[in-house]
Amino acid sequence: MTRGFGVDVVCQQIFSDGDGDTFIFQPSQRLDDIEFSVLHKIGGGRNVTCDSQGSGNVDGRHFTMAVPSNGTNALETTIAMSLYNGTGISPDDGGYCDSLMVAGWVRLGPAVLNVGNTSTSTNGTSGRSLDTAFMTCSPSFKTAMFNITVGTKGRIISSQRTSDFDTNHEPYGSKEAIASLLSQITGMVTPYTPQRFKWHNDSFTTDWPNSYLKIKLNTSDLVDPNAPLPDIPTLIPQISALYKQLFGIILALNSGIFAEATADAATPGFIIITETRIFMSPVMFYISITLLVLQLVTAIAYYVKRPRKFLPRMPLTIASIIAYVSASHAVRDFDRSNSVAHDNAGHDLRYAYGRFKGIDGQTHVGIEKAPLVVPLKSKNPNVKRRRWLWKLRKNGKEPTIWI
């Protein structure tokens, strides 16, 4: 169990007028200078102005840029804000402006040209249409206790929150310190570019957050001058998830901001290891596998090379044994009613096993006088090795007796 730190990001769409937070996006006549700021209402009829200090920034609210082309142009920005320090003293905003991130997309229509191919000089944006879509994201610090599972390489595999988020952040830093941390991380999350605002007439992104969204959403409509403005409610979950992920990465890469634990501090935990419950000697395993392979080879060799069936029936009963000789002429040699045959029985007579034509005129397999027996080794096509019998049995036929 350990303590985890993170942020909860609240993103919302803002407009140029309304009851909530508003923004000012006012280009100059030549469109080479833009005044940009966010007005945050803190209650009690008091407002604070959030601007941005950076490259290309004249006084915190004005930004210089190149003149756009005469065709359709687009502009996108992801910018970190700060509390405006202009004339007068701004009320305390609780660190809101310093941790505020603003993302916006702008579409500028084509210039209206006269006969001399010069743009008309009307008020505003030289007669060109201007559409804007802006959103703000404000992070808030949060912390709670977690049960985590850490892999062998020190990376967190899974986590489960075990307590509510703490509302008292004093043990982890003062209010000013936490606000400063959020401000620094917001500045690191937003890209730093030489120009915060830049017109372009192609579909190439000018900052990496829009490049990420272009890949994530699999579309270039965000930065395409000819495409309509993006739908802010659709982009809010993507921007919020990106900020949270980058916040965790930045904390992991800057772990020095955390105070080291005391030497006697202890964190309860447990280790999950794989334990072998079945043990086997490698030598005995190899011997067992070798014996199994030999048995398999022997079984295959036996069934492939086994002898053919030569008994029509198993001689397990008296009737089965009598059937081997009942139809043969050899029985007459042992007939007591035939004295001549009985007297000559066993003298100069040989008996054999095979096929013979019995006294009933039918073909039999059994024991008969040797001269009358045809050996079982014949060229009868129905008499094959047993391994071929499955073809005959498949058709419901058995080998016929043939002489």
The C-alpha atoms of residue 217 and residue 231 are separated, in whole angstroms, by: 12
Q: Which tens digits make up the pLDDT trace of 336-385?
A: 665 555 555 555 578 888 888 888 888 888 999 888 888 776 554 444 44
Which residue matches tokens 């992991």? Answer: 252
Average pLDDT over residues 23-46: 85
Q: Cα 37 to chain center, whole Å?
A: 42
Q: CA-CA distance, 370 to 374, in Å (whole number)?
A: 8
Does residue 229 have a pLDDT over 90? yes
Q: What is the dihedral of CA 387, 388, 392, 394, to 10 degrees?
A: 60
Cα–Cα distance for residue pair 106/118, rounded to 1 Å: 23
Give the number of other Cβ atoms within 10 Å of residue 243's Cβ.
Answer: 21
Task: Give me the pLDDT at residue 295, please.
Answer: 96
pLDDT of residue 97: 86
Q: Looking up tokens 């008292």, which residue turns up? A: 168
pLDDT at 237: 92
Assess whether pLDDT exceeds 80 at residue 116: no
Question: Is pLDDT of 401 > 70?
Answer: no
Alpha carbon distance 244, 233 (integer Å)? 18
Q: Which of 162, 203, 264 is nearest to 76 (CA)?
A: 203
Q: What are the pLDDT digits (tens) for 140-171?
A: 888 898 888 888 787 888 888 888 888 888 77
The pLDDT score that the predictor gives to residue 122 is 39
Q: Check: pTM over 0.75? Answer yes or no.
A: no
pLDDT of residue 91: 66
d(CA 72, CA 107): 7
C-alpha R_g of the chain: 49
- Three-state DSSP string of the chain: CEEEEEEEEEEEEEECCCCCCEEEEEECCCCCEEEEEEEEEEECCEEEEEECCCCCECCCCEEECCCCCCCCEEEEEEEECEECCCCCCCCCCCCCHHHCEEEEEEEECCCCECCCCCECCCHHHHCCCEEEEEEEEEEEEEEEEEEEEECCCCCEEEEEECCCCCCCCHHHCCHHHHHHHHHHHHHHHCCCCCCCCCCECCCCCCCHHHHHHHHHCCCCCCCCCCCCCCCHHHHHHHHHHHHHHHHHHHHHHCHHHCCCCCCCCCCCCCCCCCCCCCCCCHHHHHHHHHHHHHHHHHHHHHHHHCCCCCCCCCCCCHHHHHCCCCCCHHHHHHCCCCHHHHHHCCCCCCEEEEEEECCCCCEEEEEEEHHHCECCCCCCCCCCCHHHHHHHHHCCCCCCCCC
Give the closest residue to 324 by CA, choosing from 345, 362, 354, 348: 354
Q: Are 239 and 11 in contact (CB under 8 A)?
A: yes
pLDDT band at 90 (very low <50, low <70, confident <90, very high): low
